Copies of this chain bind each other. A is one copy, B any other.
Amino acid sequence: MAQYRITFLPMDRVFIAEDSENLLEIAMKYGIHINASCGGNAACGKCRVKIIKGDVYAPIHPKIPQWEYDAGMRLACMTIPRGDVTVEIPLESQIDRAVLKRRRRAPHILSAIDIGQLVKGWEVDPAVFKRYIALPEPSMQDNISDLGRLMREIKRKHNIENISVDFKILTRLSRILRDSRWKVTVTIVLTRKGCKLINIEPGNTEDKNYSIVIDIGTTTVCGQILDLANCSALKLIEHTGNGRDICTIAESSDYNAQISYGEDVISRIMYSRRKGGLKKLNEVVIGTINKVVKELLETSGINIEHISHLVFAGNTTMTHLALGIDPKYIMLSPYTPTATLIPPVRAVDLGVNVNDHVHVYIFPCVASYVGGDIVAGVLGSGILKRDKITLFMDIGTNGEIVLGNNDWLMCASCSAGPAFEGGGITFGMRAGKGAIEQVKINPTTFEPMILTIGRVKPLGICGSGLIDIVAELIEVGLIDQNGKFKRDLQTERLRAGESGYEYVLCYTLETQINRDIVITEADLDNLIRTKAAIYAGCRILLENAGLSFGDIEMVVIAGGFGHYIDIEKAQTIGLMKQRGLQR
């Protein structure tokens, strides 16, 4: 991948850019403001820049007349450098130098590392593995049962014995052995009590061993297909540029269809107490899981036959509902879940559309409000293996926070609300195509610069976009410390809307929806409440451990939210504070 030097005028700042980035993305990355409100889709025509020097790729576009194009004018969102380039930002996009200086933040001590670093060098040793075996054919001298023969050879060739057998294999065992001319691959699962044979396939499919892992969130259900065969061989998770490790073949997510029946776990539990409510909630979340599974299989092109197991992680209520277990007592004092440690379940028994032999392994919960999702996070992020005192945050609709290290772990739970997942925000949406994910606001003109996921016309605002927007609103002085818009500012973008004051991010024509996309004071209130809940959770946890914020050596923010969050912006809105500044 080539790298080029990009010089922005008139501020005369020079940055290094990848050859795949366009000028709008480069400017956004390095904090150079260029007006843009269509998300990077060449629709608004506002991100005009002038190429002073250097070679760029930029198609002719109706928003730039020929005479302007000849003079070097281009749309930043459509312009990709092909070498070192000097670009001039036109007047309407420029920010006053004095303002620019004022905006410059203190150098931050918090620094981002990604999950790959946290678990680098860990061995991956899947509980479900495959072994290829070529069996000797039966003869009159050696005519033990087919199953006996298989077990004998598994012991001889792979030294695995005392294997129990899933009954369902038996009905097809003899046929598969003969059709495959006695060359088969067995799938074995390591259980708490030994090995179990769960599947048999003709031929050698050792390298086709995949699992599907599902994070059942209150608002969002996320899934990944993992390649167990090749992870196992490498014994190491290595990261690719896009933040996925090489185990991950495909990702997919969708709203948990339960949101029609309540936004948080308490309202879901309330709904489950109605007649037929539990059944309904169970059905719809299984429906969502099936959608995610289907999409994962389609995206990855992996044959459903090669999915060996499923893993679910969810908070305690989601775990109960996904399994069809009544969550009633989770919300009744003394708040007892039915079970925290769940035995493996056959996926088809739960209604999940995978093969018969596939079992679901469910991350154990800790208590009614500390679920399997956070257990998975603690395990996955390796807190329990390090000396460093770490604060682990899993911020979904239910925020869960773990504090500790390899000696001890404590946990708190807080009702964060769905703001960061797009819930309770007027134009909130999940982090999908069309979601506004990055925003800058010109501190003089209050014109925004907007990038969307997929660089399409905006549809709404996702969690990280929301933090960006609020951080910018604070930075440029559009809102005060109480989260209220300053009524006295002279800009058309600030206006009294139907439900109070609001800031217009995109006008109707620039969006995919037939409305202006705005952020309202009610949205700000929701974000503040969410932030306050998380802050309170952290503080109480620290106090109970006899520690303060200053003692935290590492913060891990779980999930997609953690992946996309801009640490600087999160500090700006007070979601995080630098060490030493906060007590």
Which A residues lie at the B interface, using CB under 8 A?
Answer: 138-140, 142-149, 162, 164-167, 170-171, 173-175, 192-194, 323-326, 328-329, 333-345, 349, 365, 367-368
Contacts and interface: CB of A to CB of B under 8 A. Distances in A.
Contact of A338 (B142, B162, B170, B324): B170
Nearest to A365: B145
16 contacts: A138-B336, A139-B334, A143-B335, A145-B341, A145-B367, A146-B338, A148-B341, A162-B193, A167-B343, A167-B349, A170-B323, A171-B323, A171-B324, A173-B338, A174-B325, A174-B328
A329 B162 CA distance: 25
Contacts of A349: 167
A522 to B, nearest CB: 36
A145 to B, nearest CB: 4
Given A170-B323, A325-B170, A339 B175 contact: no
Count the copies: 2
Contact of A194 (B175, B193, B329, B344): B193
A171 B336 contact: no
A325 B168 CA distance: 10
Contacts of A166: 343
B167 A342 contact: yes
A325 B169 CA distance: 10
A269 to B, nearest CB: 13
Contacts of A193: 162, 164, 193-194
A193 B194 CA distance: 8
Among A146, A326, A338, A342, which residue has the most Cβ atoms of chain B within 10 A?
A338
Contacts of A144: 336, 340, 367
Contact of A143 (B170, B334, B365): B334
A178 to B, nearest CB: 8
Among A143, A147, A336, which residue has the most Cβ atoms of chain B within 10 A?
A336
Contacts of A149: 336
A140 B333 contact: yes
Contacts of A138: 334, 336
Contact of A170 (B165, B174, B192, B339): B339
B342 A148 contact: no
A101 B139 CA distance: 59
A147 B194 contact: no
A342 to B, nearest CB: 7
A146 to B, nearest CB: 5
A329 to B, nearest CB: 6
A146 B336 contact: yes
Contacts of A329: 146, 174
B139 A338 contact: no
A368 to B, nearest CB: 8
Nearest to A366: B145
Contacts of A334: 138-140, 142-143
A339 B151 CA distance: 11
A148 B364 CA distance: 12
A144 B330 CA distance: 11
A337 B328 CA distance: 50
Contacts of A324: 171
A215 B170 CA distance: 21
A368 B140 CA distance: 12
Given A167-B345, A326-B174, A339 B143 contact: no
A325 B171 contact: yes
A145 B333 contact: no
A145 B175 contact: no
B147 A341 contact: yes
Contacts of A328: 174
A145 B343 contact: no
A144 B365 CA distance: 11
A165 B326 CA distance: 17
A193 B365 CA distance: 25
**8 closest pairs, A vs B, by CB?**
A147-B339, A193-B193, A143-B334, A145-B340, A174-B338, A140-B334, A167-B345, A145-B337
